[in-house]
Copies of this chain bind each other. A is one copy, B any other.
Amino acid sequence: MSKANPTMKDVAAEAGVALGTVSKVVNGLPVGESYRVRVEEAIRKLNYQVNSYAQGLKLNKTRTVALLIPNTQEPYYGSLAYHINSALLRRSYRMLLCSTDSDMGQEQEYIKMARQNKVDGIIGLTYNPNLVIEEGTPFIAIDRSMGQKIPCVASDNFAGGQLAAEKLADLGCRNVAFLRTGASLTNEPNKRKAGFENGCLSRSLPYEMKILNDGDSLEEFDAFLTKHIQNGRLTFDGIFCVTDSLAYYILKVLKRLNQRVPEDVQLIGFDGTRHFGVQDYVCSTIVQPVAEIAEMCVALLLQENMSVKPPLVCLPVSYAYGGTTAETPGAANHSEQP
């Protein structure tokens, strides 16, 4: 029977041709029709597969990309991993998954591994300000600017914040709040705050902010909201949360405080997270274009017709109704596909 791991040499012997001819057939280079057929038959017969390791060693090109991401459990991350994998597959690239738990040591370790593994590039979602990336390793950052030399792909977070403010204004809110958890770094999602402020100001909508520091407990929000209750009514009639995850938490707090959503207070989150079983959004939200972010990262990394790499690419966000806002009159924007 055929050998366990046939090489090109075996194929050449089987087909009765030269080694170089097999290489040409395998790589689709021009070769006489009769030879091509003979070689293809031998390949089928021996069940030959090229050895990517030999190929990679010779060509110094591995068609492999590493994805650094905190985990694949949270919906936004899991979804990114999925779409990036798809975008790479479409281009016949392989993906090494590096889930880092946002541990700085592990992130750096993975970068080292990626270098040993001669990946063609790295796509990374990390908030590590001390991450060292070698010159010469193509790197695309998601959601965090890492200097002029490294392109960053993100949603248009500023526009998203602004959109949330405008939406709340359109929905008749008179006094709103912005809630954000820690992450003191200068990363892209922080622009949601500035965008929201900008939107409130342009609509003359009074607002307050509650921003937690890194170590703070979520329960600070409970206290904050409780403090703003007068005669059993929350003084805010609109809340914008920095993520859907936080919005989901706040939803529970509001329930406990006997505030009805959306009748008493409307709530908008950020990300576009959907309920896993049914496909509804978990709350009214600013949807991140995850598939487009993934596609853009891959296109940028693989240099597809890009003469110059932009330092920052912002992709458009959209609003989606998810039950925690009053429906806009006449608007048919329930459960839009992202």
* Residues of A participating in the B interface, judged by any CB pair closer than 8 Å: 4, 47, 49-54, 56-57, 62, 67, 71-75, 78-79, 81-82, 85-86, 89, 94-99, 106, 112-113, 115-118, 134, 136, 243-249, 252, 273, 275-278, 282
B contact residues around A56 at 8 Å (CB): 53
Contact of A78 among B50, B78, B273 (CB under 8 A): B78
B contact residues around A136 at 8 Å (CB): 4
In contact, A116 and B50 (Cβ under 8 angstroms): yes
CA distance A23 to B81 in the complex (A): 36
B contact residues around A49 at 8 Å (CB): 112, 115-116
CA distance A247 to B116 in the complex (A): 46
Which residue of the partner chain B has the closest CB to A113? B94
In contact, A277 and B245 (Cβ under 8 angstroms): yes
In contact, A277 and B246 (Cβ under 8 angstroms): yes
* Interface-central residue, A75, A78, A118, by most chain B CB under 10 Å: A78
In contact, B82 and A72 (Cβ under 8 angstroms): yes
In contact, B72 and A118 (Cβ under 8 angstroms): no
In contact, A118 and B51 (Cβ under 8 angstroms): yes
B contact residues around A98 at 8 Å (CB): 85
B contact residues around A244 at 8 Å (CB): 276-277
In contact, B277 and A248 (Cβ under 8 angstroms): yes
In contact, A99 and B75 (Cβ under 8 angstroms): no
* Interface-central residue, A53, A96, A117, A248, by most chain B CB under 10 Å: A53
B contact residues around A245 at 8 Å (CB): 276-277
B contact residues around A52 at 8 Å (CB): 116-118
CA distance A96 to B277 in the complex (A): 27
Which residue of the partner chain B has the closest CB to A135? B4
Which residue of the partner chain B has the closest CB to A253? B278
17 A-B residue pairs with CB within 8 Å: A49-B115, A51-B116, A53-B62, A72-B82, A75-B276, A78-B78, A81-B81, A85-B99, A86-B99, A89-B106, A94-B96, A96-B97, A247-B277, A248-B276, A248-B277, A252-B278, A276-B282
CA distance A74 to B82 in the complex (A): 10
Contact of A97 among B50, B85, B246 (CB under 8 A): B85
- Given A75-B73, A97-B81, A118:B53 Cβ within 8 A: yes
CA distance A277 to B273 in the complex (A): 10
CB distance from A14 to the nearest CB of B (A): 19
CA distance A246 to B276 in the complex (A): 10
CA distance A243 to B277 in the complex (A): 9
Closest A-B pairs by Cβ, 9 of them: A248-B277, A245-B277, A78-B78, A97-B97, A72-B78, A72-B72, A53-B56, A53-B57, A72-B81
